[in-house]
Chains A and B, each alone.
Chain A
């Protein structure tokens, strides 16, 4: 395998990881501040993609589509928080799992009822289509490169938001001590709605960005949701830094595992068997990674020690 191919694959892993980060950041933020397991996060991702596809389809502008995705997911998030989620904060994880699972059912079938069963069309803008040549002669799709950059910018923005702004201070306080921030005179209910909407908007953004190179369809959120959970659990729940590192780890493991494991197996088996066994192990690899991390560090890489 040439070096160029290897670098390209690492870029691919990185890009996949960064998209996962957008999903995982919202999930981990919501868990960190409110202590809520939100299985419906994947639905917000789907809502973002559908908003983007609908608006981009109607106006022809990808940018408007992105804005619609952010706004649509944030509004949906805020609404869900106001109507359902805020009743769940005091309940245990079990109830949260069940209630948000119910939300998935409602969102998925509701979307299908609104948009039908066929996938929607959402394409990348012409300005971002096609490959670019990177230093070293690597040809890489411009859109994917853009995804990496956008993702890193969002990550940087989140770190600044958390460390520098008033909202960030409240969020950090909320992670540490709910009673204290109430004592400080912060309107907790409002803070929670804002954090939930923020997480939802991030998921919506990811849905729209990814929807453009994949397919916008009902049920697109669940596989990503599971991966996002893997990410935040590896990183340590509640930690944005953990989510970023976990996401990149998962992205690289998944991408590189799919390539190298079949090759590795060829050392032991015939090519056909090797491909088959290698692919099988590759499809389990991130879960093996997650189990291994948890066995060694039961609260993830950057999680609070029990």
Chain B
């Protein structure tokens, strides 16, 4: 069991006003092996960095690897709830795993803080008072891209995403705010790595811009092949294909591409600057979007711990709802469905020395909520 019990380093001197009498037990289920492990590792590292910095010794984190398999995630959730009797769960990266785990753990009275996935079901009809999303609702970054397309004056976008629910949500999200026409709308095979056929269609479509949602290796392949195709249209994507972890693998092909994100390492606030610096110092690499989400999740939890005892569920829930913590992304508060209300930025991929990274070039949406909150009754 990978228990990380934190030693009481300078806890006294920091003098955290710990209202919680008992230690809080946190179960983190995330992807640490197999494909997509990079995301889980970043969430974990960001989360643990915040815990370490707080010096709070009243928190015990149990970390488990879901291997990106829903049935394994369910098994681990059972274990954490039944055997470890945790108070709070967190860590899931993927929407399908989130859907498998979250409804059942919140029904069992546990708190769940999502550091990454935000399926629409859980923001709308399936919302739950014990479920807090600290990242975004799945559609958010795509909606921002649609809004950005209007600003840029795109009139005829070609949009594509993998043929699975998150892909369909993504394109729906883009179309929600986008006012122009569509030159084409394509669903690719999940896990597809060759996009020659799609690129040929884009070339022939007469589009004036391209929007894609292809997470992980799919995005790397698409961008590299897009760069080689000679198609000269502006391409926009959500931050997932441009995060710090995979940007180096895309290389020059990503340079200059605009992407939407609720966080960027150059958000110039003391909190964020300190986060970027300390993350680099601790792990020897630049933090990613996922690391920032993990970091924020832990800080949200710590803020609630300082206000209420986790055993008093109602008080603890209220403390979480207040979101009284300093987010790396600046303004952060929860909407009525416990999903973030936040600004979403447009970033551009640049090269700093030898390292590819992102720079903010503007704001796509201000204090943006999501499209589902009105369906949420709680």
Contact = CB atoms under 8 A, between A and B. Distances in A.
| A–B contact (CB under 8 angstroms) | yes
Interface of A: 1-2, 4-5, 8-9, 12-13, 15-16, 108-109, 112, 116-121, 123-124, 129-131, 139, 141-144, 210, 212-220, 223, 255, 258-259, 275-276, 279-280, 282-283
20 contacts: A4-B204, A5-B201, A9-B197, A12-B194, A112-B33, A118-B38, A118-B246, A119-B220, A121-B250, A123-B251, A141-B225, A214-B194, A214-B221, A214-B224, A215-B193, A215-B217, A216-B249, A218-B34, A220-B217, A276-B187
Contacts of A223: 191, 193
A188 B272 CA distance: 64
Nearest to A283: B189
A210 B221 CA distance: 10
A275 B228 contact: no
Nearest to A257: B197
Interface in B14-63: 33-35, 37-38, 41
Contact of A279 (B35, B189, B224, B248): B189
A117 B228 CA distance: 26
A116 B245 CA distance: 11
Contacts of B227: 129
Nearest to A131: B230
Contact of B200 (A8, A116, A143, A282): A8
Contacts of B248: 118, 121
B37 A9 contact: no
A218 B197 contact: no
A90 to B, nearest CB: 33
A283 B188 CA distance: 9
Contacts of B220: 119, 214-215, 217
A219 B251 CA distance: 21
B98 to A, nearest CB: 20
B203 interface: yes
A141 B230 contact: yes
Contact of A258 (B189, B193, B228): B189
B196 A12 contact: yes
A139 B37 contact: no
A283 B163 contact: yes
Interface in B312-346: none
Q: What are the 4 tightest A-B residue pairs by CB atom distance, in nearest-first order? A: A131-B230, A215-B220, A119-B249, A12-B196
A277 B217 CA distance: 25
B200 A214 contact: no
B251 A117 contact: no
Given A118-B245, A119-B220, A144-B228, 19 more contacts: A2-B204, A4-B204, A5-B201, A8-B203, A112-B37, A123-B253, A141-B230, A143-B228, A212-B224, A214-B193, A215-B193, A215-B217, A218-B34, A255-B196, A258-B188, A259-B201, A279-B189, A283-B189, A283-B190
